[in-house]
């Protein structure tokens, strides 16, 4: 069985004010009733393919994670990070845990904040990638890009590996806009951020590419304590892990990366524009959640956590109201919310 590892300790600021430090994107119900964390867990719940999952998250999110798991009736080991060290450390902890149980076990490290329309296609691609992981490749699922987005990892696929997969010739995390345009024209894929590998292979790659991360993760696990259903990593040991993502730490460096392209209706819903795109919309093109009244308004997104929102005569608007903050922007510029959040943080 494949061991799913759900990485859900990120902060996710581009969906402010709904996504906050205290309640990041992956735990929010963005579209339906369930959060993307819950949908991710259910996507890998088929016992004939997947084993018991490991959830790796920030200690602050332990109750929301546990409650959301209970709500969907899924059990998992929940590993708590005492500090944010980004995804390389989280993957290292999971790989180390899995390797101690069975070094040959295949791990599927999943982002928890993505939308996948076709779960069957996703699982089928995971099975093909797992077959290649069993041959020693560190696999990722690739997505055909539809625009030169700068927030993704880009992969140049090389020699075919079978199972529809290919070697990764080059992996470039978050290139600038001009480079991203060139990559799209040259047939690069996006990295979806979902990785498959044998536990011992990831351990070896971390030892080679990011030894400080592996050492910190391993020591934090050695000194971890059980607290109810939680596994609390040792704070002092974990603090020594460099703050770096798995993409920079391993995927850009490893010589044994492979990619399986997947067409599964994937979106990382990274902005309110993306939320509007994937939402059900009414005849006027509006996506509305919560209490709102719209008059002569088209192609807009309105989300409210409480206040009644009224719009008259505006098109392409994005209005998000939480209890203590309101965002007003346009669909075109909603991606710049991250700058707004940075400015708010700087202002304290
Ligand atoms: N446990 C834990 N701890 N999880 C974390 C941490 C951490 O410190 N930091 C991030 N994560 C989780 C996030 O919650 C998310 O589910 C996943 O790891 C990816 O992190 P992001 O911060 O969302 O990464 P990104 O979107 O900038 O980039 C990644 O995803 C892209 C696709 O959406 C990269 O893998 C890119 O290459 C990729 O294209
Ligand atoms: Mg992301």
User: What region does 157 belong to: left with phi over 0, alpha with psi -120 to 50, or beta?
Assistant: beta
CA of 309 to the centre of ligand 1 (A): 32
What is the predicted pLDDT for the residue at 338? 86
Q: Which atom of ligand 1 is nearest to the CA of 151?
A: 27
For residue 162 the two structure tokens come to 């079978």
Q: Residue of the nearest CA to atom 28 in ligand 1?
A: 152
Q: How many A from CA of 268 to the centre of ligand 2?
A: 6
Minimum-distance ligand to the CA of 266? 1
| Nearest ligand to the CA atom of 7 | 1
87 and 246 Cβ atoms separated by less than 8 Å: yes
CA of 11 from ligand 2 middle (Å) equals 9
Distance CA 121, CA 28 (A): 24
Helix ranges restricted to H, the chain:
36-43, 62-71, 87-101, 119-133, 177-185, 199-209, 211-222, 235-239, 246, 272-278, 337-346
d(CA 292, CA 298): 14
Q: What separation in Å is there between the alpha carbon of 231 and the centre of ligand 2?
A: 25
Ligand 1 test: best mutation among 26, 193, 233, most atoms within 8 Å of CB?
193
Predicted confidence (pLDDT) per residue in 42-68, tens digit: 999 999 999 999 999 999 999 999 999
Residue 330 CA: distances (Å) to CA of 10, 271, 287, 305, 312: 25, 11, 13, 19, 15
- Tell me the ipTM for this assembly: 0.99
Which residue's alpha carbon is nearest to atom 3 within ligand 1?
9
Ligand 1 binding pocket mutation candidate from 111, 138, 150, 274 (most atoms within 8 A of CB): 111
Task: Decide: 16 and 270 in contact? Cβ < 8 Å.
Answer: no
Q: How far apart are the CA of 260 and the centre of ligand 2, in A? A: 19
Q: How many CA atoms lie within 13 A of 168 on its CB side?
A: 31
Residue 34, pLDDT score: 94
Low-confidence ranges of the chain (pLDDT < 50): none
Q: Name the closest ligand to CA 247.
A: 1
Task: Give, using CA atoms, the residue closest to atom 27 of ligand 1.
Answer: 151
CA 109 to chain centre: 9
Residues near ligand 1 (Cβ within 6 A): 7-10, 26, 56-57, 81, 84-87, 90, 111-113, 151-153, 173, 190-193, 247, 268
Gap between the Cα atoms of 291 and 2, Å rounded: 42
Ligand nearest to the CA of 37: 1
Please state, in angstroms and rounded to a whole number, the distance separating the CA atoms of residues 294 and 313.
8
Q: From atom 21 of ligand 1, which residue's Cα is the shortest distance away?
A: 10
End-to-end CA distance of the chain: give it in Å, rounded. Answer: 47
Smallest-distance ligand from the CA of 11: 1
Q: What are phi and psi of 127, to 5 degrees?
A: -65, -40
pLDDT at 229: 79
> Is the CB of residue 31 less than 8 Å from the CB of residue 278?
yes
Q: Which atom of ligand 1 is the closest one to the Cα of 268?
A: 33
The pLDDT score that the predictor gives to residue 12 is 73
Answer positive or negative: Cα dihedral of 70, 83, 209, 12.
Answer: positive
**Cβ(152)–Cβ(194) under 8 Å?**
no
Chain centre distance of CA 106: 19
Tokens (6 digits) for 316: 């392409």
Residue in the structure block whose two tokens are 């927030």: 151
**What is the spatial distance between Cα 202 and Cα 208, in angstroms, rounded to a whole number?**
10
Distance CA 135, CA 133 (A): 5
């Amino acid at each position: 069985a494949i061991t799913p590892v759900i990485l859900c300790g990120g902060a996710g600021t581009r969906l402010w004010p709904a996504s906050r430090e205290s309640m990041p994107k992956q735990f929010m119900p963005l579209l339906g009733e369930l959060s993307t964390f819950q949908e991710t867990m259910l996507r890998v719940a088929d016992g004939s393919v997947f084993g018991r999952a490991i959830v790796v998250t920030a200690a602050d999110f332990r109750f929301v994670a546990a409650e959301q798991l209970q709500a969907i009736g899924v059990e998992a080991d929940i590993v708590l990070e005492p500090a944010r060290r980004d995804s390389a450390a989280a993957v290292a902890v999971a790989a180390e845990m899995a390797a101690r149980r069975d070094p040959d076990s295949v791990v599927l490290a999943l982002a928890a904040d993505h939308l996948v329309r076709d779960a069957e296609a996703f699982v089928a691609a995971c099975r093909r990638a797992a077959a290649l992981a069993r041959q020693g490749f560190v696999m990722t699922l690739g997505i055909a890009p539809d625009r030169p987005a700068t927030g993704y990892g880009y992969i140049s696929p090389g020699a075919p590996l079978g199972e529809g997969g290919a070697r990764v010739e080059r992996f470039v995390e978050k290139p600038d806009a001009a480079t991203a345009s060139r990559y799209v024209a040259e047939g690069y894929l996006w990295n979806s951020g979902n990785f498959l590998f044998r536990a011992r292979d990831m351990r070896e790659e971390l030892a080679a590419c990011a030894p400080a991360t592996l050492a910190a993760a391993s020591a934090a696990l050695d000194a971890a304590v059980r607290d109810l259903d939680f596994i609390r990593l040792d704070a002092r040991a974990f603090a020594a892990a460099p703050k770096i993502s798995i993409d920079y730490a391993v995927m850009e460096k490893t010589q044994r990366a492979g990619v399986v392209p997947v067409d599964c209706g994937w979106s990382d819903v990274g902005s309110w524009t993306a939320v509007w795109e994937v939402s059900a919309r009414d005849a006027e093109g509006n996506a509305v959640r919560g209490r709102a009244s719209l008059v002569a308004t088209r192609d807009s997104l309105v989300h409210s956590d409480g206040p009644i929102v009224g719009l008259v005569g505006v098109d392409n608007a994005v209005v998000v109201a939480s209890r203590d903050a309101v965002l007003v922007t346009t669909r075109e510029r909603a991606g710049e919310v991250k700058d707004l959040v940075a400015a708010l943080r700087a202002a304290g």
